[in-house]
Amino acid sequence: MTFELSIEFFPPQSPEGMEKLRATRARLAVLKPEFFSVTYGAGGSTREPTLATVMEIAAEGHHAAPHLSCIGSTREGIREMLAIFKERGIRRIVALRGDLPSGMADAGEFRYASELVAFIRAETGDSFHIEVAAYPEWHPQAKSPREDLLNFKRKVDAGANSAITQYFYNADAYEHFVDEARALGVGIPIVPGIMPIASFSKLARFSDACGAEIPRWMRRKLESFGDDAESIRAFGLDVATELCQRLIERGAPGLHFYSMNLAGLTLEICRRLGR
């Protein structure tokens, strides 16, 4: 099965974490991903680790895409980061609104990701391929599904080249979102985000925080396994593989894996998909 692939990491906070991520990256590199993306902490809190990780990825000969979030940031700070990326040969950015760090009252000079996308375009022209986020099950802070869809269109109109979705396990939600976006005139690729399942407790925590739904049948099945990690892993692999197969067969432009800095599950899903 042929499909484009990208993989997300988060920046390690320790030398040991960096070593583990290097080993993970070496294993995942056999998949020949289109790019590796690296997350950016709230308000730029992981700026230096993100930059260091991105530079390592680029030095290894891979395409790297740093996340860049605008909440809590200034125009001058974003301008400085863009200059660093451009100077170091980075050509892809994942532009996000991001979250305000706990305890920080100042949201900075940007309110929305669409403003960040417009700023990047005004400052750098077509120097960067800009990825933005999409939410098939709607952003948890959106006033309504319609408003969330219009917010997505604003990011596209501001100059986004493609989008990566929040993870989901309901393919119908993704297909419905894409159909609605196309009806609004959005033509950019909308790549589904895939979250392999390593732990039910972690998945439930992430999903509650980001608004991604775990369908009831999945939740009940995962709960029934209790602490049986092998059964959770086996079931999770089946669910994720079937989801990916359906998405690719129905025309998804690629898959973006949220690796959680681990290689095994992503490698196994891709092996099952014939990559």
Q: Note the pLDDT of residue 201.
A: 94
**Which of 110-114, 119-123, 151-155 has the weakest average pLDDT?**
110-114
- Catalogue all structural domains in the chain, each as residue range(s) with its CATH number: 5-272 (3.20.20.220)
pLDDT at position 58 over 90: yes
pLDDT at position 209 over 90: no
Q: Note the pLDDT of residue 2.
A: 81
pLDDT at position 42 over 70: no
Q: Model pTM?
A: 0.94
Confidence bin at 111 (pLDDT 50/70/90):
confident
8 is catalytic: yes
pLDDT at position 104 over 60: no
Q: Note the pLDDT of residue 105.
A: 53
Q: Note the pLDDT of residue 141.
A: 86
What percentage of the chain reaches a pLDDT higher than 90?
83
Mean pLDDT of the 243-269 span:
97
Mean pLDDT of the 110-120 span:
94
Confidence bin at 44 (pLDDT 50/70/90):
low
Q: Note the pLDDT of residue 140.
A: 85
pLDDT at position 1 over 90: no
HEC secondary structure over the chain: CCCCEEEEECCCCCHHHHHHHHHHHHHHHHHCCCEEEECCCHHHCCHHHHHHHHHHHHHCCCCEEEEEECCCECHHHHHHHHHHHHHCCCCEEEEECCCCCCCCCCCECCCCHHHHHHHHHHHHCCCCEEEEEECCCCCCCCCCHHHHHHHHHHHHHHCCCEEEEEECCCHHHHHHHHHHHHHCCCCCCEEEEECCCCCHHHHHHHHHHHCCCCCHHHHHHHHHCCCCHHHHHHHHHHHHHHHHHHHHHCCCCCEEEECCCCCHHHHHHHHHCCC
Catalytic residue among 8, 115, 131, 137: 8
